[in-house]
A and B are shown apart, each in its own frame.
Chain A
Amino acid sequence: MIKVENLTKRFGETVAVNDVSFEVSRGDILGFLGPNGAGKTTTMKIITCYMEPDRGDVKIGELDIKNRSLEIRRMIGYLPENTPLYMDMGVVDYLLFISELRNIPKGKRIKRVREMVDVCKLGREIKKNIGELSKGYRQRVGLAQALIHDPEILVLDEPTSGLDPNQIMEIRDLIKNIGQEKTIIISTHILPEVTATCNRAIIIHNGKLVADGATEELIERSRGRSIFYTQLKGHREEIENKLQELISVENLKLVEETDGSFRYEILAPKAKNPSEDIFRLAVKNDWVLTELSQERASLEDVFHELTK
């Protein structure tokens, strides 16, 4: 659906985006990750036709941003960074203005604004001026603005930055609900957000693409070896010797000892899972197995590793 090809954008000496290519298919929720200043916002500005690239192209379906920019803009809903809004306009006036710009027929505008008020739960705040709203409500107005023409593609630049945890949850749920029928690109540097809402992620660092894949895939890939925890009751020496012999155990470390029960941290070699071996061993030697778990690598680790 969205095809970004060799995108490059310079600002003077600095290269904000350097030869970035990726694709987004219909229905994807793509998490766009990277440290501040990595080039996320610039890439999004190019996709939404706010900026023109120095080199490279973006294609949305059959349309390219250079020649068919107006048609592309019709298909995209965009929430820019920091949710810019006209502070001295009323909420309804603003949404009516946007619906006019978005070519929603006159008779349908009020109805559409009402729908947006419902979807984005603007409720009783609609009578206020945007400048009087709290940050969370402004964010909702921003989302309403991006959704009002029912676009196929949504581009959201840090939609939850500066919100409190409750508001973040609400906005996230909102995005998830909307996301069922739309293609979404969402930039953030809050990683749990990506794990929570996105099915795909790309990581960009110093203007370059450093990772691209399904979120689980990325996590998997970053970890060469995995860590397991097990707690066993039995003879310490016997346990340690027998565990060491397993090929699926590379390193063994005692982490805790309580009343004859021992907890170990096990480092497994790449693509090996020792859980089954440990279980069989425990059964064979009549140890009591009280814990057997794998430490899940998080996107934080991936992110940290790739953007050091």
Chain B
Amino acid sequence: MRNTIAIVKKEFRGYFSTPLAYVFLVAFLVITQWLVLKGYFLRGQADLRSFFSLIPIVFILFIPAVTMRLWAEERKQGTIETLMTSPVRDGEVIVGKFVGGWIFLALALVLTFALPILAKVTVKPEIGIDRGPIIGGYIGLFLLGGAYLAIGLFASSLLDSQIGAWIVGASICFLLYMIGDPFGLFSLPASLVPLFQYLSLSRHFENIGRGVIDFNDLLYYFSVIFFFLFMNACVLKNRK
């Protein structure tokens, strides 16, 4: 546990030791705010539906970029040797890197709170604002982002090149997000549809986004996270 905390701290600080994190945060905020505010001012609508439907897509590109260097860089620089020969378990390092990324993601999400606040301030008092979908949406984004992070981290452990890790990570995220899409399900045998829907990252996100937090959806996200972190551990073990 102590070791994990040490890694979390180091990784979280690591994001800010290069300009990269700031570039990411600024780019992320500019893109999301612009996409949302465009519709907001045109239509004058005080709901954040477009925000919560866009961010999962933006995350597919954004999050593997956050995680791509986590293992690839350690291996390229060779620092993985000092790291893995110190008295820490593989699992502690993996969880530490993951949690460090998750906190960074939480920070990125907190920085978008301007949007719900804006919605609340500008909405006509007689209409009011429905809090459920907003809170649910943020929880959903946090969990979905966690799943992407675990996937991105796993991809980074596979490849020595950061760009390679980013492409593989984004592809897996994209695939898992899209397999529940009605467009793809259409061509599948009916018996497989529920399975694909269950496996899809987007379906569970939609559930939570309605403001209904179901144990099943939580279980799903934590399973995905656990699965990819476990796969990450297997890759590390295999390289020994």
A: residues with CB less than 8 A from B are 45, 48-52, 70-71, 73-74, 76, 78, 80-82, 84-89, 93, 97-98, 100-103, 145
- 15 CB contacts below 8 A, A to B, read A48-B85, A50-B240, A70-B89, A71-B87, A73-B86, A78-B82, A80-B78, A82-B78, A84-B80, A84-B82, A86-B14, A88-B14, A101-B87, A101-B88, A103-B2
Q: How far is the CA of A146 from the CA of B18 in the complex (A)?
A: 26
| CB-based nearest A residue for B77 | A84
| CB-based nearest B residue for A146 | B82
The contact string, 1 if C-beta is below 8 Å from chain A, for chain B 68-102, is 00000000011111111111110000000000000
* CB-defined contacts of A80 to chain B, threshold 8 Å: 78, 81-82, 85
Also in contact, A52 and B240, with CB within 8 A (given A82-B78, A84-B79):
yes
Q: Is the beta-carbon distance between A84 and B86 smaller than 8 angstroms? A: no
Instruction: Give the bracket for the number of chain B residues in contact with chain A.
Output: 20 to 34
| CB-based nearest B residue for A82 | B78
**Residue from A49, A88, A145 within 8 A of B82 (CB atoms):** A145
Also in contact, A86 and B79, with CB within 8 A (given A52-B240, A101-B3):
yes
**B6 adjacent to chain A (CB < 8 Å):** yes
Q: Is the beta-carbon distance between A73 and B85 smaller than 8 angstroms? A: yes
Q: Is the beta-carbon distance between A81 and B85 smaller than 8 angstroms? A: no
B: residues with CB less than 8 A from A are 2-3, 6-7, 10, 13-14, 17-18, 77-89, 240
Q: How far is the CA of A89 from the CA of B88 in the complex (A)?
A: 20
* CB-defined contacts of B81 to chain A, threshold 8 Å: 45, 48, 50, 78, 80, 84
Also in contact, A88 and B18, with CB within 8 A (given A50-B240, A80-B82, A82-B78):
yes
**Residue from B2, B18, B87 within 8 A of A73 (CB atoms):** B87
Also in contact, A49 and B3, with CB within 8 A (given A88-B17, A97-B10):
no
Q: Is the beta-carbon distance between B85 and A49 smaller than 8 angstroms? A: yes
| CB-based nearest B residue for A142 | B82
Q: How far is the CA of A20 from the CA of B191 in the complex (A)?
A: 57
